[in-house]
Amino acid sequence: MTAPALEVTGLNKRFGGLPATKDVSFHVMAGERRLIIGPNGAGKTTMFNLVTGDLNADSGSVKLFGQELLGMPTQDRVHLGLARTYQILTLFPRETLVHNVVLALLGLQTLRWNPWTALTGHRHVYDAAHEALAMVGLAESAERIVLETSYGERRRLELAMALAQKPKLLMLDEPLAGLSQGERQTVRELLDKIPRDVTIVMIEHDMDTALSFAERITVLHYGEVIVEGTRAEVVADPRTREVYLGD
């Protein structure tokens, strides 16, 4: 039997006396589009941070295609095929778009061990960066400074930085946050074009867009999984309506 792309089992994290995740368990199959929803403070981003290694779990297990991630440095998880975006943009605002993508790629290159190496001499890195920018419709903006771009373009840049790493599992933390309706549609179309050899797990509050994207949905509330299933099952569940949809 094929191992899930992502398998989370009994994941726990406390901040002082406050539980951020409580025995969280779910699995995502390869190629799946999974949506994580829940009210503010439900533990969604904390769960992402535990998977990626930005936070250390108190207990539990996180496996990527059957390989345990807990205790593994973040950069090693990236090498195994894990990439993510953040709820708050993490860019180098005074650098060009292409240089931002190049910097994201350094974690996968032996160049990172030699800060004295001139990056411009390694065309393959820049070629990969330009390819990633083209994937998100930013090819003609490669040499622009991030400060000169719109918020929507910066969201697409962050997606390019993640896609440049050729991930097997892509974790998106509110990729539509702060975007206009037109920008949301643009990003949604970009997500639809990502091939199925990339599994996607997404946190999102734009329900109309997110529900149409996801095949299965996990609902978190106070750090616990309370509902999981297909779109129809989750929307119809009274627990979802109570804690998230406001009914």
Domain that holds residue 68: 1-81+167-247
- Of 166, 196, 215, the residue that ends a domain is 166
118 band by pLDDT with thresholds 50, 70 and 90 = low
One domain, residues 239 and 123: no
The answer on 175 and 102 residing in a single domain is: no
Q: For 142-163, how does the pLDDT look when each residue is reduced to its tens digit (9 = 90+)?
A: 999 999 999 999 999 999 999 9
Tell me: do 98 and 61 sit in the same domain.
no
**Looking at 113, 132, 166, which one is the last position of a domain?**
166
216 strand-pairing partners? 34, 230
CA proximity to 6, closest of 197, 188, 199, 158? 199
Identity of the residue numbered 139: A
Mark whether 184 and 228 lie in a shared domain: yes
Helix/strand/coil for 42: coil
Rounded to 10 degrees, the C-alpha dihedral 55/36/86/154 comes to 180
**Total domain count for the chain?**
2
Whole-prediction pTM: 0.91
Please tell me whether residues 228 and 172 are part of one structural domain: yes
Claim to verify: residue 77 and residue 190 sit in the same structural domain: yes
173 shares its domain with 121: no
Same domain, 187 and 151: no
Q: Residues 246, 173: one domain? A: yes
DSSP class of residue 124 equals H
Work out the average pLDDT over 79-94: 90
C-alpha 37, offset from chain centre: 14
Indicate the range of 100-114, 126-140, 178-192 predicted with least confidence. 100-114
Residues 22 and 48 in one domain: yes
pLDDT in tens, 191-236: 999 999 999 999 988 777 777 889 999 999 999 999 999 989 998 8
- Domain edge (last residue) among 109, 139, 166: 166
3-state secondary structure (DSSP) of residue 239: helix
Rounded mean pLDDT of 92-98?
A: 94
Distance CA 171, CA 84 (A): 4
Query: Using CB atoms within 10 A of its CB, is residue 111 exposed (0-12), middle (13-18) or buried (19+)?
Result: middle
Same domain, 176 and 71: yes
Residue 15, Cβ density class (10 Å: 0-12 exposed, 13-18 middle, ≥19 buried): exposed
Calculate the average pLDDT of the chain: 90
**Residues 181 and 77 grouped into a single domain:** yes
| In the predicted structure, residue 169 carries a pLDDT above the cut 60 | yes
Instruction: Return the structure tokens found at 109.
Output: 């290159």
Query: Can you give the CATH number for the domain in which 231 is found?
Result: 3.40.50.300
